[in-house]
Each structure stands twice: as C-alpha cells, then as structure tokens.
Structure 1
C-alpha cells in the first residue's frame, strides 16, 4: 500500500469518521484543521445556540505549554458549553506543526500563524467578533497582533510575558531547575541555546523577544482586558496598572494554582477557578446566545513535508480520542508503529521526541499513530472514570481502540512503542491483544502495577536508582541544596529504603511462592514474560544508563540478566548519557535509530 493513498485517497483506505456518542457531549470532541503549516483544534458551540463571538487561544511555549495542554482543552470545552466557538493551535516549529527555518522569520512566523488562525476561526464559526486568550508568550503575541485584527472585543492575558529579556533570563533559571530535577549532568545539558526540557527556542524568535517590552506600547491591545496575575508578581500587577493608565477597562484576577499548573506535566492540576474567571469574563463580553447562520464545514486536515504526510484523526467511541497518523510520503509502507504517550505528556512527546520519532520512522517506510489516551492532552476523560488514568487498566482500552483504527486502514500489525508509563501500556496491550508485531519498552519502571502503591505519590516522588543516589550524595550541588533546605532528604531516605527492601524481596520471592503479596506479584510478572515468549512476541527493553528501571528488571532476571537465556524473544539495550526522559538530543537520536531498526526487524520477522 502506498503511503500517499493512506493519507490522500479516501476511497482506497478511508479514515473512518466516528459516529456521535450520546454519552459524550459535543464540546468534548474538538475538530482538527490544518493551516499555516500547523494543526489546530476547533470547538464549536456545543448546542444549537451560539454567540457571534469566538475565542482564539494563544499558547505559552516550552514546558509551560506542555503543562497547560489539558488546561487549554478544559477551558475550550467550558467555552463551547457556553455557546462560544474557539480555536487552539500549535505555533509553527512546535507541537504537531511542521518545522520552521530557525534562521529567519523570528516571532513574525508565530504572529502570522495567529493571524491566519483568526481567519480560520471566523470561517468555521461564523463569528464576527474575536477575543484573544493568551498565556505566557501567547499573551505577548496577543498584545502585539490585536491591533491588526478586525473587531477584537477583548484580550485576556494569563501570567503574561511583559518583558521579553526578563522572560528569557527566567527561562534559563527555570531550565536549570528542570535539568537538576532530571538528573542531567553538565555533559548532558544544552547550554548553547535558549532551551528547556529539551525544547529549543529558535534563535531568531529569542532575538525578537529580547527587544520587546509591553510597557513600552503606547496603546492598550483592546478596550477591555483581563489580566490573570501570578500571586506576588509585581510585573503582572504593574502591567495591569499600565493598561488601565492607557484607558483600557481592566479586570484583574489572581492566577491561583499557577505554580502547580506549570511545574511538571505529570502532576499538573487545572486551576478551575481561573477557568471560571476567564469563561465568565468572555461570556460577559459575548452577549446573548442566538441562532447563528450555518458555518463552513471542516475539511480533512493534512500536513506534508519532504518525506512524510501527517493527518490528525479522532477515533474511538464518539471520536473521544485524538491522534496523528504519520506516513511516508510517496513511499511504500514497510511497517507500522503505535507510539504510546508517557504520563500526562501530550502526544507530541517530551522534548517533542514523539513527533521527531514519527517523522524519522516515516523516512524509512514506517506508518505511525501517536495519540493521547483518555484524560491526557487533547483527549477528554471517559465519563464516570477516575481522573487518575496512569497505570489504570482502562488505558488498554484506548490503545486497543488505536489498534482498531490502524487495522481499519489496512496497516500491517503494529510494533508498540512507549517510555515509562507508556512502556507499561505497550507491555500490557501486547498481553491483551494479539495484533502486535512486537514491543519496544523504554525505561519501564513497573511490569505489573502493585495495588498497594499510590500512583499520585509515585509520579511526584519516584525513586532514583541506588547508583544515582550515591552519585548525588557526594555532589557539591546536593550538599548546597541540603544546607539550604531545598533537597528533600527525608524523601530520599525513604526511597533508598524502598529500593533496599526491593532488593531483599528479589532474593526471597522465588522461595516464598504465593505466600506473600510480593511473591504473588513477582510470579505474575514472570507469567506475563512467559506469555509473550510463548506467543513469540519480540520484546526490546531499552534503558538509559543507570536508570532506576534496571534495578526493577534485576528483580526478575538478575543483576546481569543471567535469566534472559530462557526468553529468546527478549533483548536489552542501554543508552549512555541519558536521563529517564531521554532528554539530551544525542540520546534521542540514538533511541530513534534503535526504534527504527527494531520496528523494521520485528515487522520483517512476522
């Protein structure tokens, strides 16, 4: 099958359009569109009535954008329920968008995409008035483009970047904190560019940001403004006062929960108070709902580059799940891969690694589907299901729905690829569904979830390897953090004790049989490995050097994997100079090459 047929010629392999699910409100199923080399998600009014006003979301950048993805979706859904159409999108060069030339264009590339997004919003919704809602850098962009847009009724600025130079300094400090938390050594860090969490801000855009200070603007971006100020932020409150002095009607709100929102995608919490503040402010501007004229239909969205084509898809019951299908352009399909998400990272992946992986695979003839499981990123939760979905059995339902979609397209059996919790999902999907050509599990921490463990506590305080604790114990930075109270020594001691306990249990579990919960869990894991072995499902285990997952693996196969001989389907690969998230670029390139070669080998073996 030609990849071009898969993406373009619907009569050959149509991507099914899911039937509406009465149990799933319309506001939960945003429709994908493509424009300006990027992907957007349009949410119309959920009922028959709507306002003549639409909202355009302008995202923050970097780790902040990753953390706010679900926040943006939930605010979009709330606006839709209030009869207000809205659109959110990725800036060119970020998320699912196509890459950009980093040496030209500068911030104007993002601003031009935002201007085109306004036109798309008006075309799709029929609205004739617009409100811009921006956070971080997105608020700065909103302030810069509002005067160029017809009928902007208001601008909402959440934790706005007011001074670009100060923002870049703060971003550098934030990046150092993130690197320290990841355990990146000096050799692993990117000190040559403006970056955070493996995401690099193009030099031209950083250069433009350095020159911008919103306090220098002679006019307010709109007659009506909302500023959600970070607690104790003098810069935010001063900017609110500045807008008032320029004659704008300014509503001020506290951005409560900001730090909890942007610290880490795995533990990010939506500040519902802020959602309510923004929606109430927008509806106050929008006016009454009414019968609006029919609006334009949503065309199938496609992005194309030299060696791949991508198509956003909604699938599962009522289209509840969102993903991106990436296929080789004008080439034969040799294999397929299902790329699982990690934690609450959006489907683009940590450091945008899943996007890069998918496009790298396409160059070698591999079709891939990357997607958000329920209650992650752009996929809404399943009604009535607990909000904590990590390591939950219902996530397997989501991956099986993804396999159903791939099968409906006539694709070959997929290799399941995932990291950390995504590796766990890949492992358990292979146990539950025989339609897989193999599994590539990267830095998997658990092979079978222990119900005595608390998922929330684990994602906040996951232990490191004993070797990593030894390295950190003798570092000058750890001593400094301990003396200043910034190092959680109590938590570290508890985690070390937990690892030591696991080592003891590893020794005694085989002789206890089913006499203890730990022994039963041990036997269940080995039973799962035997299941895959007996079905001849190849399993590639990949670990970063010194990853804590290696200690877990040793519980079942010995410190030097001496018991691997009984499992002919198993292989082990380690990646040097890499953290658990595989953040450094060189490590990501090594992993890309391994996944490509392994996917092709596993598929050829079938």
Structure 2
C-alpha cells in the first residue's frame, strides 16, 4: 500500500485558538463540537463585535432551531440573526440538536434529549464566552422547547418567533399538512391496490404516521411534544418577546394575555416576515431582516455595553469520533477558501486506497442534505472505509457568498470552481488522489460538470439530475414554470378520477402539459433513430452532445451511477438524451441506471433514504474495493 493512502495529519482549520486577540478582533463565526463525547453536537459560535462597540453586552444568546423541514428552510435566516446579534454586542451560539443537522444521533425521548441539548448549549456558551447571562431564541418547536427550559437555565430573556404554543396542536397541524401532501396521497393510493399484486419489498415502501417529510415523527415523539403547552406553563420571570406568525392566526395573543397577568416585561409583536422565510423550498426563502433588527433592538437595552475583559486562549473542538454500524469514524470540521464542510473518514486506515467522495449541495440546502441524506450517506460510507467531504458551495450555508455577492444561488457559475477547490483541499489535507463526486438535483449537475473536466474523478453519482446545461442568465423560476413531471407520472395520473376533476376545474395546465409531452415524443423518436444507427455503425458521431460526453467519461474509466424516481422529470430528461433505459449509454458495466418508484425528487420517504444510502454504499464498495484488491495482487 502506498503512503498516499494514509490520511495526513490535519490542522485545526476552522477554529481560532484565541477568542479576542488584543489588536485584531475575530468576528468570523467558528464551527465546533461540544456536548457529550458519545453524542456530540455541532455549533456555530458568533463572538460579539467588541471592538466596534467598545465592549460587549456580556450576554450570550442561544438560538434553538425548529424541527424538520422548518429547520432546513430557516437555516440561512438563523445565520443572519446570529450575525445581527453579534454586531449588537451579543455572543451567539447556533447549534444542531442530536438527531438533526450535523450533530450525532442518540436514542431516547427526542423532547428530553433536545431540552438537554439546550441546557448544554447555554452552559457551553457561558464557558467559552466567559458570561453569566444567557438569553434564548426559538422558532416554532424551537420556541416551545426554549420556553420549557428557560427557567431551568436561569435565562435572562426569551424571544419566540411563531411559537408552537401547544405541542398537541403543533403535532396535529403537521399531520394535517402531511396528509395533504401529494406524496402521502400517492402512497395511500398505492396501498389501496390489491395485496396480491404487491410483494414484500413494495409493502415496506409505505409512508406511515411515524415519519414527517422524511424525518422521524414517531408516536413517542408526538406524545412527548404533546405534553408541552405554554398555556399551562408558569409565566417565565424574565423579559419575553413574542413575534406572531403572519400567515395564519395562531395562539400568540392568547399566550401573551395569560402570561401578561404575572409578567409585565412581555411584548407581543406582529412584524411581517415569517411567511416569506418559511417557504417550501430553501431557494425561495427570504431572510426576515426587519424581524431580526427588531429582536436586536428589543434585547439591546436590557444589557448595557461593558468594557471587554481580558480572555484566555481557548480551543474549540473540531474533531470527534462516532460509532457507525459498529465501526469507528472521525468527523473533522474544515474550512478552505472560505468554504466550510465536514470530513468523515474511518479511524483505522483501510487496507487499500479508495477514492475520496465529494457530496455537492442539494439546491439551496446546506451540506446536511434534505432529510439529512448527506449526513447518513457520508457516515455510512466512512464506516465502509471511504473518506467523504460534504461541503457548502459559495452562497450556501456558512460558506462565503458567490463572487457576485449572492446567497442561495443554486446554479451559480462558480460552482465548478468550488468543486475543484474542494478536491485540491482534500489532496493537500488528506492526501486524496482519486475522487467520486455526487449529488442530488443541482448537486448532480455540478458533479457531472466536474466529472467531465477532471481526470482524477473515477466515479460519479447523479441523483434526479434536472439539468445538463445551464446558461448564464437562466433563472430557476423560469425553469420551474417550463418543467412538468415525468411521462410516467401523467400516464399513471390519467387513470385517476381526481385528475379529471382537477382538469374540469381548471387546476391543471393542460395545454402546457400537452405541448411538453408532444415535444418529448418528438425527442424520443429522434433518440430511437440514433439508437438504430449506432447499432450498426460503431461511432459516437451520431449521438447528441450529452450522450457523447457520457460515452467519453465511460471510456476514460469513470464509474457512472444514475438514480432517479420514476415520477420525476429527471427520467424524461435522461430518456431524451440517452433513450429508454439509457440505451445510448451502451452496455458497459461501468454504467448503472436505477429507477425507483414512489421516492419523489429528494427521496423524502424514509425507506427511500435508506434504500439510496445502501445502494450507493454497496455500489462504491463493489466497484472500488474489489478493484483496489485486484490492483494489489
């Protein structure tokens, strides 16, 4: 085995060893691990801008995130809130609960675990910032959790945005939204088919009450959340700011009236911004700057600016060890060219060199991936012997803005350069020589571009890729308006009575769908002619550009894995370029096409997440571990 297969020692790349150097105050947020060693938490520390203010307010603020999809779409806004509060003189800690984000998984009562996480975050912020006073901020379920422990941690103030006042009502609301979703309806329709036509594997592909938009939502969790009710809690003896949601009428006013009877330091606000932040897609979210400024303005008078005391040097932990499938792996927080990420790798060196896996962002979602898909995949791959980097491209998560100064720019022109920067970093820091690049949706697009350009890419994983070419000036909104679902979806839907009712009501853009489907038929006929010609003439000249590029990748020795949901428009895009079942890709064993049913675009059902994770892990093991073993003989 060559020395290059051994991971090189890495430095603490993301964390400063000194909190506040005397002349050059550090304002950059710092990522670190904290909490119990067997189940560490990932946090972002935003130090107060002491030099700008001539001191600090000597109060920390712990930001308690919401649950599930609400956490994903509000992530960018939380980062902006942390920056706003740091500029106002507060030391801020934004963290992920156990079983969420980048933090470790932990069995047990979710509510009790998350309450314990908030207590740990408050204690750790007091320690690293040298503070006595700590305030809490929470959104939705995060607000309910914060309120439930505010007295325990002796919080100095409590801020809640659109709080889930009643845990029971909150659970009912989420269940209603889940039952209204298209995915749930499809699953229910499938379940109604005669059982004789369904095999065991299909019966396991059902979405039940124990999951919600891809996250665990078990009966135990619903019961624990349901026991929390602010209307029955004693009013906290601290200043409280409640900001009502602006999309629906909630219970904020009722709560304020009850708490006001014993807490005269309570303020109810109706500032707009919540609805625009909590959009279905993280790409569409708008940071509620007005609300964040209001929060800072409300908190600031409660804590006077005080001279900054001298601080000792501190170290924030950037590496942890986890047990995944009875294997020990390490996770390192890394930063390169102002891009941030997490490297997962096995503790014990593997017996043969394996390629490093890079996971590119799914749309505007940060590196954990929708439903934590990338976290689970990275850790499973690390347990199987691979080194994996999940990172945020420019404009996503905590990485720097794009060169144009944008955030949430899904198909930013600099995405390919970010992938190259990640590869170069892994070469220098970990001795990586070869790579597998992969991603879902826009992550698949940039993985595809990288595989075309970089000879060191030995494998590519493309999940539900919707674009093979993106022109500068294109907009995601325009692409969405022009796109329709897969032909398979419409063939299935046309047999459903509900579809015809929607057509008669005018809810279906029938003309647009008809035109698009006609175009698909024309393209497929063209593909059939290409397939017929190439069957008799061994030449790539008759293939379209994308098909030629894939053939060239395969000829170079690149392993190609394409995974799609049958109802996703990525299937039709693939068919338009490669023919039915990818016939124009040839019969090379290096090309593998997997099409799932009922998985949706982001593999929301938990069975789909598990299936995709297992599929990718076993695929890479088979293709690269076996190849490495043969090379050593």
> C-alpha offsets along residues 455-491 of structure 1, whole Å, 9 cap, x if unaligned?
1343577421122123234434445666777x4x23x
Match of 1:396 in 2: 416
**Unpaired stretches in structure 1, ≥5 consecutive residues:** 513-521
Match of 1:218 in 2: 234
CA distance in 2, matches of 1:337, 1:121: 34
Aligned residues: 579
Q: Match for 2:100 among 94, 119, 144?
A: 94
Flag the 1:108–1:121 CA change in 2: closer, same or farther, 3 A. same
Flag the 1:218–1:563 CA change in 2: closer, same or farther, 3 A. closer
Match of 1:149 in 2: 153
Deviation, 1:66, is: 1.1
Match of 1:32 in 2: 32
CA distance in 2, matches of 1:260, 1:473: 34
CA distance in 1, matches of 2:245, 2:564: 42
Flag the 1:233–1:397 CA change in 2: closer, same or farther, 3 A. same
CA distance in 1, matches of 2:288, 2:236: 27
Deviation, 1:246, is: 2.4
2:150 counterpart SS class: helix
CA distance in 2, matches of 1:372, 1:333: 30
Flag the 1:110–1:480 CA change in 2: closer, same or farther, 3 A. farther
Q: Match for 1:504 among 522, 533, 536?
A: 522
CA distance in 1, matches of 2:10, 2:493: 54
Q: Match for 1:603 among 609, 624, 629?
A: 624
Residues 1:272 and 2:289 aligned together = yes
Q: Match for 2:310 among 285, 289, 293?
A: 293
CA distance in 2, matches of 1:537, 1:527: 14
Match of 1:570 in 2: 591
> C-alpha offsets along residues 206-265 of structure 1, whole Å, 9 cap, x if unaligned?
212212211112222523434344344241221122222222322222252323322232
Flag the 1:234–1:31 CA change in 2: closer, same or farther, 3 A. closer
Q: Over aligned residues, Cα RMSD in angstroms?
A: 3.2
Q: Match for 2:9 among 13, 17, 34?
A: 13
CA distance in 2, matches of 1:256, 1:371: 32
> C-alpha offsets along residues 179-232 of structure 1, whole Å, 9 cap, x if unaligned?
449965554542232x32110134433212212211112222523434344344
CA distance in 2, matches of 1:376, 1:98: 22
Match of 1:137 in 2: 141
Does 352-361 or 567-576 show the bigger shift?
567-576
1:366 counterpart SS class: coil
CA distance in 2, matches of 1:565, 1:239: 65
Flag the 1:227–1:557 CA change in 2: closer, same or farther, 3 A. closer
Residues 1:60 and 2:78 aligned together = no
The structure with more radius of gyration: 2
Normalising to structure 1: TM-score of the pair? 0.86
Counterparts of residues 96-175 of structure 1 (less than 5 Å):
96-102=102-108, 105-150=109-154, 152-175=155-178
Q: Would you say the 8 A contact 2:403–2:414 is kept in 1?
A: no
CA distance in 2, matches of 1:286, 1:481: 57
Flag the 1:506–1:237 CA change in 2: closer, same or farther, 3 A. same
Normalising to structure 2: TM-score of the pair? 0.83
Counterparts of residues 329-348 of structure 1 (less than 5 Å):
329-330=347-348, 332=350, 335=354, 336-348=356-368
